[in-house]
């Protein structure tokens, strides 16, 4: 890693603006009051290995699961099985790391000249994904299957369109299908926005500089946390 502090801060400022724009898009395109009013969601960026770089607004603890979510995508879809423009969805807590079944994760690989350089990730609570009661989180639940539909990491978006088979499965398992699909589309859009802006940033400063700025941020954050402890 070799990057001067001024360049690093300029690039990181652009990344902060990007993640803020992702969160703004998420909260202003969501169909449900869960997103629009409660802002029970988040959107942000990881590096290619799934390490969290930064997030926009919303519930910041969601970012704790980004790394596991990206890792789960890699387990099902190695890089050579991913295509530019793909997005993946999961809501299985034991695979994607989300705190409960209604929290749905979208992970979008960011490609630059054929290689994955990062991921745009979004987590958002869904109004209903099936299960024992409306809202999917019932006090009578005794096993995870009582909470509703469990999606392993699957390709939900490709070639500029929602996967119709995945959409049909989600709709068939929700009491509020239009709202759930609308919120999910908002998540996909937010992560794709982040991917587009990150590619544009790499065009300006070079992909190596962007990677170095990310690594520099992770290194400095590690030092600050260690010092705090």
Per residue in 77-122, pLDDT (tens digit) is: 999 999 999 999 999 999 999 999 999 999 999 999 999 999 999 9
| pLDDT at residue 173 is higher than 80 | yes
CA 128 to chain centre: 19
Q: Of the ranges 35-39, 103-107, 137-141, which is most confident?
A: 103-107
Considering only CA atoms, give the Rg of the chain.
Answer: 17
Residue 60, pLDDT score: 81
Measured from the Cβ of residue 199, the count of other Cβ atoms closer than 10 Å reads 18
Question: What mean pLDDT is predicted for residues 3-17?
Answer: 93
The pLDDT-based confidence of 63 (bands split at 50, 70, 90) is confident
SS3 102: coil
Q: Give alpha helix (H) positions in the chain.
A: 5-29, 33-36, 66-76, 93-96, 164-172, 177-205, 207-228
Residue 226 has phi, psi (to 5 degrees) of: -60, -40
Q: What is the mean pLDDT of the chain?
A: 95
CB 103 within 8 A of CB 88: no
Question: What mean pLDDT is predicted for residues 38-46?
Answer: 95
| pLDDT at residue 32 is higher than 70 | yes
Q: How far apart are CA 158 and CA 98, in angstroms?
A: 23
Residue 1, pLDDT score: 55
pLDDT digits (tens, 9 = 90+) for 200-225: 999 999 999 999 999 999 999 999 99
Residue 145, pLDDT score: 94
- Give the rounded percent of residues in the chain with a pLDDT score beyond 90: 90
């Amino acid at each position: 890693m070799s990057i001067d502090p001024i360049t690093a801060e300029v690039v990181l400022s652009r990344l902060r603006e990007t993640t803020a724009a992702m969160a703004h898009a998420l909260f202003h395109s969501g169909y449900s009051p869960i997103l629009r009013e409660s802002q029970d969601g988040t959107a942000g960026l990881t590096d290619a290995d799934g390490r969290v770089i930064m997030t926009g607004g919303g519930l910041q603890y969601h970012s704790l699961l980004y790394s596991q979510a990206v890792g789960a995508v890699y387990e099902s879809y190695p890089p050579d099985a991913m295509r530019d423009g793909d997005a993946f969805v999961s809501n299985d807590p034991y695979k994607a790391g989300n705190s409960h079944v209604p929290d749905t994760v979208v992970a979008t690989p960011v490609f630059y000249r054929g290689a994955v350089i990062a991921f745009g990730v979004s987590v958002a609570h869904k109004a209903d994904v099936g299960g024992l009661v409306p809202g999917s989180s019932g006090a009578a639940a005794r096993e995870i299957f009582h909470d509703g539909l469990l999606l392993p990491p699957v390709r939900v978006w490709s070639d500029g369109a929602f996967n119709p088979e995945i959409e049909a499965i989600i709709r068939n398992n929700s009491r509020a299908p239009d709202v759930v699909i609308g919120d999910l589309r908002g998540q996909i859009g937010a992560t794709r926005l982040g991917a587009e802006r990150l590619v544009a940033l790499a065009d300006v400063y070079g992909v190596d500089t962007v990677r170095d700025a990310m690594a520099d941020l992770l290194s400095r954050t590690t030092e600050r946390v260690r010092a705090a402890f």
